[in-house]
Amino acid sequence: MKTTIKNLMMTAAALSVLASGSVFAQSNSIPRTPDGKPDFNGIWQTLGTAHWDLETHASRPGPVVEMGALGAIPGGMGVVVGGNIPYKPEALVVKQQNQADWLVKDPVVKCYLPGVPRATYLPYPFQIIQAPDTTLITYEFAGADRIVYMDQPDLESQVDSWMGHNIGHWEGDTLVITVTGQMPDTWLDSSGNWHSYQMRVEERYTLESENVIRYEATITDPEVYSEPWTISLPLYRRLDPNMELIEFKCVEYVEELLFGQYRKPGVE
């Protein structure tokens, strides 16, 4: 894995040097790699409140009273196309139960890997390292990453994983990634929106300008939803000088939460 990441970074660096003269599309201003594909290399981050709730929601008190306004959950406009997630009636009951006890049940609270698409709109930056045959997406949160195989459309997943099995292809200037084989334990936000092992995610990345990606993800799960549904939101390039991902390995912050109850009093 480390060797693959190193090779991808070296390839991306080489492409960046080749394209340093600004290889742009003839008909618009989006940057392109030397092979003519849109150039997504860089560090990106979303804004907004989708990580709290994908649907439109009002502000509400946070879980820590002592934090006051700083700990409150802000309201926000939803990112679900059409407004509402089309749950089946019995699945909606599970969602409501999740939301009522989210602080205990949300896997991200315990530093579990967030899965797709949630990793994209958590309030942490992530980096895309693009190469012709393989693309790496690496996230600040919990050191999560995933390899997108661009030249192996028939490659099958051997086991389910937290970040899924990622197969990519191009549709014009849009990068399309199909994600299957995800663990059913991940949530889609902190409001209890959930999925089963049958979930299939089709992500679409389209450069709207040099520094903005239109991100769309269509979610299909016949066990939980009555029909496929889509989220849509912008991703913004981080333009900070010397921007880089800062390690956020959160396991050490939840050790007491996860294991403290099993420790005997007075035993370190």
Percentage of the chain with pLDDT > 70? 86
Residue 147 lies in a domain: yes
Q: In this model, does residue 267 exceed pLDDT 50?
A: no
Looking at residue 2, its pLDDT comes to: 47
Contact of 170 with 37, CB cutoff 8 Å: yes
Q: What is the pLDDT of residues 166-181, one digit of tens each?
A: 999 999 999 999 999 9
Residue 65 lies in a domain: no
Q: Which CATH number fits the domain that encloses residue 249?
A: 2.40.128.20
pLDDT grade, residue 67 (50/70/90)?
A: very high
Domain count, the chain: 1
Residue 267 lies in a domain: no
pLDDT grade, residue 5 (50/70/90)?
A: low
Domain interval for residue 194: 2-57+75-261
Q: What share of the chain is helix, strand, coil (3-state, %, to 5)?
A: 20, 30, 50
Looking at residue 80, its pLDDT comes to: 98
Residue 114 lies in a domain: yes
> What are the residues whose beta carbons fall under 8 Å from the beta carbon of 50, sequence distance 6 or more?
76, 78, 79, 121, 189, 231, 233
> What are the residues whose beta carbons fall under 8 Å from the beta carbon of 188, sequence distance 6 or more?
54, 117, 118, 194, 195, 219
At 84, is the secondary structure helix, strand, or coil? coil
**How many residues belong to the chain?**
268
Q: What is the pLDDT of residues 180-216, one digit of tens each?
A: 999 999 999 999 999 999 999 999 999 999 999 999 9
Across the range 145-174, mean pLDDT stands at: 93
Residue 141 lies in a domain: yes
d(CA 148, CA 160): 15
d(CA 51, CA 49): 5
What value does the mean pLDDT of the chain take? 89
Residue 119 lies in a domain: yes
Judged by average pLDDT, the poorest of 4-13, 28-37, 227-236 is 4-13
Residue 268 lies in a domain: no
